[in-house]
Chain A
Amino acid sequence: MDLQNVPQEGNKTLGGYRKAVYARDAGGHIVVAASNGWEVEEIVTSQAVEEMRSLAETARQNAINGLSSTLEYWMYARRMDLLLLAQSTGIWRWRIRRHFRPEIFARLSPGMLKRYAEALGLAVQQLQRLP
């Protein structure tokens, strides 16, 4: 990649950051250049962000319709999946899956709720509600 080909396409996902890339200047030296983004990166990052957003949105609808607990929504809202939530809380996956059932989630002990809330970076009251 030559210096004049370093993409400056204003990638939204960088949030104003510029990233360092390596490119060749006119004299053939490879130097660090600041890039404000390449559309390719924007496409793949947006894809990943969009995927997590859609998982959270589905979970939110399920919670509204009483099909799932708010815990499932918050797991996706925090960009986690079942495996990561299990690792973060030390609670087995099958147990978490059970806690996705609203009637069971409603009866969880304060201690259990606190474990979830801490792993998700929330207050317990937030965990029990949708935003």
Chain B
Amino acid sequence: MTFPHHRHAAHCESGVVSNLVCHHGVPITEAMAFGLSAALSFAYLPFIKLSGLPLIAYRQPPRSIIRGLGKVLEAEFRFETFRNPAAGQARLDELLAQGHVVGLQTSVYWLPYFPEDMRFHFNAHNLLVYGKEGNDYLISDPVGEQTVRCDAASLSRARFAKGVLAPRGLLYTMQKPGVSTITPRVARKAILKTCRTMLAPLPIIGVRGIKMLANRVVRLDPAAHRSSLFVGHIIRMQEEIGTGGAGFRFLYAAFLQEVASLSGMEMLSGFSDRLMLIGDGWRAFALATARMVKGRDALNPVTLADLLRDLSRQEEVFFRDLKTALN
């Protein structure tokens, strides 16, 4: 059994949802799914800890891509969570038997096909199940180039992992494919929403969140082991956790370029180029940080904070201009 709509994607949620929508006959790219759901963001959440380190997100919270895209396309997704693993597995089997392709939220740690070094307790991973053979589920995990298999016991454990963002067995199916053409109007609305998020008057969100993170970084003690872990963690959130590079900035630039081909949206092509350059700035920040983590350069919180402040300024100007251009 094969799944013809498996496509390699940068990010699990946008990858899963675009593949699922394609499966239902609406051809859509990952970048389009990401952009239309207004998923680009930045959030520095010091009160949510992952292994003792603050949550730093370059995108909107889990499930918002699926929900957001559903709204824009007027498609209908159905979400179900379960109290116990047995019920969760029974429902999954039932849906597969009815011929559904089913989306799941899982932990990364308990998925045996993941590379050993990538298995962390991160609970907001997404994948599609398209069949079952014997005791194995057939899985389209968009972070891989090929489809994979996973035994029932491991999958069940991954679905019912506990902790921050616990999936509680979450599964989702597409009930009704919505509209199949993307109009300039919906694209404009989605972009303005992202501008609003990035320019939000809240200290921990958007360009202000980046600035706040810079203020945190500048206070790090260069001699402490913990400081190196902290800055390394920022880069993991930015580059390692499936972002398509530069904390989703390249992915969003791809979206802007795609929208630029719609009528009346030609000016977005220039914005796409500008965001690619800002993305290169994020990559330079990642490189500078990694050199310090590795000990090639001495850990210098001031340098890193300056790079972050500069990125915050660049993004502030970028999203201001973008907003003006669309209004």
| A126 CB contacts on chain B under 8 angstroms | none
Determine the residue in chain B with the shortest Cβ distance to A22.
B250
Most-contacted residue by chain B among A13, A23, A40, A88 (CB, 10 A): A40
Alpha-carbon gap, A43 to B291, bound state (A): 8
Q: In this assembly, does B21 line the interface, its C-beta being within 8 Å of a C-beta of chain A?
A: no
Residues in A whose Cβ lies below 8 Å from that of B145: 17-18, 34
Most buried by A among B117, B162, B289: B117
Please tell me which one of the listed residues B242, B246, B276 contacts residue A24 in the complex, with CB atoms under 8 A apart. Answer: B276
Contact with B along A78-89 (1 / 0, CB 8 A): 111101100110
Measured as residues with beta carbon below 8 angstroms from the partner, the interface class of chain A is: 35 or more
Q: Are the CB atoms of A19 and B276 closer together than 8 Å?
A: no
Residue of A nearest to B288 (CB): A40
In the complex, the chain B residue whose C-beta lies closest to that of A52 is: B51
Contact pick for A47, options B114, B251, B272, B293, CB 8 Å: B293
Contact present for B228 and A47 (CB under 8 Å): yes
Q: Is B222 an interface residue, CB under 8 A from the partner?
A: no
**Chain A nearest CB, measured from B82 CB (Å):** 17
Q: Are A47 and B246 in contact (CB under 8 A)?
A: no
User: Could you tell me which residues of chain A, from 1 to 38, have a CB within 8 Å of some CB in chain B?
Assistant: 1, 12-24, 28-32, 34, 38
On whether the beta carbons of A44 and B290 are closer than 8 Å, the reply is: yes
A88-B162 contact given A20-B10, A47-B232, CB 8 Å threshold: yes
> Considering residues B49, B114, B232, which has the most beta carbons from chain A within 10 angstroms of its beta carbon?
B232
Chain B residues contacting A78 (CB-CB under 8 Å) are 109
| A13–B115 touching, CB < 8 Å | yes
Given contacts A39-B290, A43-B294, A88-B163, whether A80 and B121 have CB atoms under 8 Å apart is: yes
Q: Does B286 interact with chain A (Cβ within 8 Å)?
A: yes
**C-alpha spacing A80/B52, complex, angstroms:** 10
Contact A1 B276 (CB under 8 A): yes
B62 at the interface (CB under 8 A from A): no
Are A17 and B286 touching (Cβ within 8 A)?
no
A43 x B293 contact (CB < 8 A): yes
A48 adjacent to B244 (CB under 8 Å):
no
Q: Is the CB–CB distance between B30 and A32 below 8 Å?
A: yes
**A121–B162 alpha-carbon span in the complex (Å):** 13
State the Cβ distance, B254 to closest chain A Cβ, in Å. Answer: 4
CA distance A17 to B49 in the complex (A): 28
Report which of B110, B157, B166, B245 forms a contact with A22, defined as CB distance below 8 A.
Answer: B245
Q: Which partner residue on chain B sits nearest A18 by CB separation?
A: B145
> A103 an interface residue at 8 Å Cβ cutoff?
no
In the bound complex, residues from chain B placing their C-beta under 8 Å from that of A51 are 229
| Cβ-based interface call for A128 (8 A) | no
In the complex, chain A residues 80-117 whose Cβ is within 8 Å of any chain B Cβ: 80-81, 83-84, 87-88
A44 partner, pick from B9, B142, B239, beta carbons under 8 A: B239
| Residue A62 at the chain B interface, CB threshold 8 Å | no
Given the interface pairs A21-B250, A43-B293, the reply to whether A34 lies near B8 with Cβ below 8 Å is: yes
Report B's interface with A, CB cutoff 8 A: 8-10, 15, 30-31, 49, 51-52, 109-110, 114-121, 142-145, 157, 161-164, 166, 228-229, 232-233, 235-236, 239-240, 242, 244-246, 250-251, 253-254, 257, 272-273, 276, 279-280, 283, 286-287, 289-290, 293-294
Nearest 10 A/B pairs, CB to CB: A15-B115, A13-B117, A22-B250, A30-B254, A40-B290, A88-B162, A21-B245, A43-B290, A44-B232, A20-B10
Q: 14 extra interchain contacts, Cβ-Cβ under 8 A, other than A34-B8, A83-B163, A84-B162?
A: A1-B250, A14-B115, A14-B117, A17-B115, A17-B144, A22-B245, A22-B250, A22-B254, A44-B236, A44-B240, A44-B293, A48-B120, A48-B233, A121-B110
List 29 A-B residue pairs with CB atoms under 8 Å apart, sorted by A's residue number.
A1-B245, A1-B279, A13-B115, A15-B117, A17-B118, A18-B8, A20-B10, A20-B142, A20-B244, A21-B10, A21-B244, A22-B31, A22-B245, A30-B276, A32-B8, A39-B290, A40-B286, A40-B289, A44-B232, A44-B235, A44-B290, A46-B117, A48-B51, A79-B109, A79-B119, A81-B52, A83-B163, A87-B163, A88-B162
